[in-house]
């Protein structure tokens, strides 16, 4: 849609219809998502009024015929009969699935697919929607899929262009999402592989401080093992591209 839908309840109603296109969303589901435990005195009438406003928005955007045919009234609810490939969230899911299937043999094609998928995002999932458990669950799932797609694209960029090409993005992502330890592990390994062993250790220390101070958590065993591998210059991490800092100097950094 070229214009944002005004009103949190209108956006929530439309989001519910688009989360599962063609499927009926029941009135009870609308009541729970739109009002939770604060139902209006005449919930059926209130729901009909919101549907009418959404119909008007859709008609102005796509025409009266589209709205009459596709926004369908059922005895116990409503459905929006559009194809999944007309909904960005479902297109995103399809593109990421195709990218995963092609990543092994065609990494550049897979990266292009992920670029297209991530390009569909304009803000956070279900931004401006004030729904209940259905909308919250869908938003959480979509956000997890987005972060997984970003991680997959970073891995493909490493395969195609090398570790140096992803360090800036990894620094930004680990700052935004310190609990995504796979991103921190990728950052540490990428720094190490580009001859920046001391920075790799500092990245671990910085993450540890944020986890302890912000969440009361220590880094996972896997991330700690990665840090120790960097300290030992473990051959399993691959050879750095430049000379690394002397081991005694690095050890001093983590005391």
Q: Quote the pTM value.
A: 0.85
26 and 62 in a common domain: yes
Residue 151's contacts (CB-CB under 8 Å, 6 or more residues apart) are: 180, 182, 183, 186
Kindly state whether residue 3 falls inside one of the protein's structural domains. Answer: no
**Which of the four pLDDT bands, split at 50, 70 and 90, describes residue 23?**
very high
- With tokens 């009002």, the residue in question is 35
235 and 148 in a common domain: no
pLDDT of amino acid 130? 81
76 and 153 in a common domain: no
153 and 109 in a common domain: yes
Kindly state whether residue 228 falls inside one of the protein's structural domains. Answer: yes
**Is the pLDDT assigned to residue 45 strictly greater than 60?**
yes
pLDDT of amino acid 163? 96
Q: What is the pLDDT of residues 67-109, one digit of tens each?
A: 999 999 999 999 999 998 999 999 999 999 999 999 999 999 9
**Which of the four pLDDT bands, split at 50, 70 and 90, describes residue 3?**
low
Q: What is the pLDDT of residues 151-208, one digit of tens each?
A: 999 999 999 999 999 999 999 999 999 899 999 999 999 999 999 999 999 999 999 9
Residue 172's contacts (CB-CB under 8 Å, 6 or more residues apart) are: none
> Quick count: other Cβ atoms within 10 Å of Cβ 63?
11
Specify the number of domains making up the chain. 3
- In b/e form, how buried is each residue of 151-187, taking b as 16+ CB within 10 angstroms? bbbbbbbbeeeebeebbebbbebbeeebebbbbbbbb
- Distance, in Å, from the CA atom of 134 to the CA atom of 16, rounded to the nearest integer, reads 8
54 and 19 in a common domain: yes
Domain span at 124: 84-161
154 and 88 in a common domain: yes
Choose one of 32, 53, 82: the last residue of a domain.
82
- Distance, in Å, from the CA atom of 121 to the CA atom of 241, rounded to the nearest integer, reads 35
pLDDT of amino acid 229? 96
Choose one of 53, 82, 111: the last residue of a domain.
82
Average pLDDT, the chain: 90
**Which of the four pLDDT bands, split at 50, 70 and 90, describes residue 2?**
low
Kindly state whether residue 1 falls inside one of the protein's structural domains. Answer: no
64 and 15 in a common domain: yes
pLDDT of amino acid 43? 94
Choose one of 161, 180, 198: the last residue of a domain.
161
211 and 126 in a common domain: no
């Amino acid at each position: 849609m070229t214009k944002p839908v005004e009103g949190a309840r209108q956006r929530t109603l439309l989001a519910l219809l688009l989360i599962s296109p063609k499927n009926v969303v029941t009135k009870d589901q609308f009541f729970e998502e739109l009002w939770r435990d604060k139902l209006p005195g005449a919930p059926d009438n209130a729901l009909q009024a919101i549907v009418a406003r959404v119909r008007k928005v859709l008609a102005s955007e796509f025409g009266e015929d589209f709205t009459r045919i596709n926004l369908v009234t059922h005895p116990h609810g409503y459905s929006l009969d559009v194809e999944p490939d007309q909904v960005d969230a479902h297109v995103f899911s399809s593109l990421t699935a195709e990218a995963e299937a092609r990543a092994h043999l065609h990494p550049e094609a897979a990266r292009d697919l992920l670029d297209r998928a991530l390009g569909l995002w304009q803000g956070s999932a279900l931004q401006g929607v004030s729904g209940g458990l259905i909308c919250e669950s869908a938003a959480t799932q979509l956000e997890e899929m987005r972060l997984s797609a970003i991680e997959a694209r970073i891995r493909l960029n490493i395969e195609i262009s090398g570790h140096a090409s992803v360090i800036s993005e990894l620094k930004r992502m680990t700052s935004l999402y310190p609990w995504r330890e796979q991103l921190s592990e990728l950052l540490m390994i990428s720094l190490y592989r580009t001859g920046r062993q001391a920075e790799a250790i500092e990245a671990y220390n910085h993450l540890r401080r944020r986890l302890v101070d912000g969440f009361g958590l220590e880094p996972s065993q896997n991330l700690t093992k990665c840090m120790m591998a960097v300290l030992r210059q473990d051959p399993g991490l691959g050879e750095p591209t430049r000379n690394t800092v002397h081991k005694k100097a690095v050890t001093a950094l983590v005391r």
